Structure 1
């Protein structure tokens, strides 16, 4: 019921002075001009200056419907891709009502250095009756974004619903979180901002439960769909206690499906998109299930038809199998898990990494105040070692009895997560119980011990090491010196083993035959745990350069993948 309004300037140049003045009512008392740009050193942003000038000229020419010059203040919004939500818009109007409104303000950023930001209530939302809001958290390259683009097309084209979709992901091509925001309903959707209060939330990667606070965005009584590597009668005890409590407190309906297992059995690899899409339509009942299945299969034909009939039939089979493997989990009355959400970065990480980088990784980067940012904008390097992404479903496990110590697995590893060392046997005195070692077969290190160790929390599970391993068991040709195994039960003990491995002295480069493959792999890489895609073919070369030349290497970089993973 408040007397407020909005004027949108669509034609900016040439600025329409008369049309702008005519759009302002005679009752106007105060105006806030929002610019989506910052002009350091100027007395105001472009639109703000134009509005002041336009109103001044119009009043001088007698072309305004108001006699008194209104209060005009300028502000900035949406900088750095920040959201502009109804709560922020309300904060602008609230500021205008003040006797002395804040000038040259910014909204959406916590500007605690100059104190020019407006406070707002993030819980304030526009009521959108009849609009269904869904969020999907996926892993880059698992097909989640593509499937949701098909989903919004199906709903928009086969029903009388209005539809809207936003997709959020970073520059990494694979292996990082993607978020899909879908809205649909009978009324026009006027919501140019991301969802923060969803009817439906889907988590397509089980490890996200330990890293992201996804269910804080769930509406009470909403639905939660989880892609779980554990069976429906085991999954509850495998979840962090914080997630369990949110499900209980918000009275969420909880469904699980082992999409990873189904995709592997059907030959789809890590592409779980069609399976999860089918689960969404089955649970949400947005459109009749038979119609949804027909539309999904039609979209499969359009999307994968060029790949051949075999690929189409595999994806159609994924739809059919998904229908049989969706399970609702009975939610207990109390949280019982012994698992807690770990910090987003390692506890021993430097202060800046914990307080800034860690919050960005956890998805709270927009909440950071300006004072948290480095004055010169430079971020410290060598921080990927603290991230511990835990995105691998399977990791390589070493069989020391078969290994020929060739170093090929370490050589081809894109992320430097398989390391090898030769060391004095005395150093094993304090080794963890499950730490593996064997006699070193390299002539120059005769009498020493040798270990090949994987970093379980940094490995992406690409399998390049296993694929290239030449050593096979004489009894079983499928069993090699390294073999992929399910990561979750191995993670804790192998993380301890890896920490111990890193504590062993690094090899002296002067004593290594760096002109040989295995000699080079005994040198510690200083290009490690990059953000490259699983199985990347570029990063092993950069890693090798770091082993051969260390900090003496000068690498000139051009725009491309290297700008992202490096």
Structure 2
């Protein structure tokens, strides 16, 4: 669909694609999660909004639709395939009646119906252009992208007004005076948040910035989310662009600080390809690397790279699960009914109010 995505963005057609992000096959086929498929579309002109939990999918899915109507920019709303898309979790749905109170009916008329194909109001679209005007028309559309981050922020506040759940282009968790922070997006941000809370309870001084709006990238909003005390930053990408000088999110963060004239030590990590496990112990290793005298600048975490020696070692498992939490593992081989039975069991367990995630973690607004 990538050629069509360029066309939709170029013609400023409000559109939303909801995508459960999955691996793009390399040396082998993989149906599991990373961000390589959505990263392959980042040049198309689509806005890219990332959800990190099942509740986020509900909330930011609505944000994507409303913001696309207001901004005329098409949105790619993505979340981690399997990790989030197949998760069964208690959420608080947004009712249609509440959605109607913030729906931009004027934008629907102005940006969609007015541009619809109509035999009584003919217009031309999708033309061929020569070199004398193509460049100018492309750059002229940039004003829509400049306006988009503020539109998304405004829309998130509107959604917050009906849900009570705070959103933002970037979210920060951790010490307000953190000297070491991580930047990450997707479901792994929840792992990082738990690790940050655990480490700070042990006396560390760390934090994490979660990326929600990846495109258009807003340097202003990103820098506002970073504590002014942060001096060392680890950027984690769930994709691998072979041969590149750095991974996509790592490069965006570097450019943001460079444009602002701010000197920071920034490291880049690749993790979780094809849904490889990403654990609190790995999060600790990332922060420990930042604390070392000569941090590794670019590395992989989660595997032992004994070929090109690019991996960062990590220690024994860390338990960040709140005390009193009961956990179960269901094993099945497939085709024996275990998957369906497990799903039914999870639903049954979830009917009890005591199993709701925020019963054990009241600080988490989920």
**Structure 1 and Structure 2 fold alike (TM over 0.5):** no
TM-score range for the pair, normalised by the shorter chain length: 0.3 to 0.5
Task: Give the TM-score normalised by the residue count of structure 2.
Answer: 0.42
Task: Give the TM-score normalised by the residue count of structure 1.
Answer: 0.27
Asked which structure has the greater CA Rg, the reply is: 1
